Amino acid sequence: MKLNLAIAQHVEKLPLPRQSEVLDYVLYLEQKTANLSISDSERSKQLTAALKKVVDMNPYAKIDPIAWLQEQRIERSLPGRD
């Protein structure tokens, strides 16, 4: 028996919600396989571009590091120990 037929027979026996999960997993595997086809140099270029965007956005510009640190160090009461 061919593999695709065996898979189809097993999937047909599952309830509809489980069949949906199988489809989701198949789509995930297809996406994962497509991502593997990207060369390392292309992946490196994409990562570099993404990191440059983050640097340009400067997400921590409005945060005062000293105020943040003081806020993190504030003593908090422990549950059940008032």
pLDDT at position 82 is 62
Asked whether the beta carbons of 45 and 34 are under 8 A apart, the reply is no
pLDDT of residue 73: 84
What's the angle, vertex CA 64, arms to CA 60 and CA 59, rounded to 5? 10
Q: Please tell me the predicted confidence (pLDDT) of residue 41.
A: 84
User: Residue 49 has what pLDDT?
Assistant: 94
Q: What is the pLDDT of residue 34?
A: 77
pLDDT at 40: 79
How far, CA to CA in Å, does 36 sit from each of 19, 23, 30, 39? 26, 20, 10, 8
Residue 65, pLDDT score: 92
Rg (CA), the chain: 25
- Taking 50 as the pLDDT cut, the residues of the chain under it are none
Task: Give the global pTM.
Answer: 0.43
The pLDDT assigned to 13 comes to 92
Q: Which amino acid is at 63?
A: I
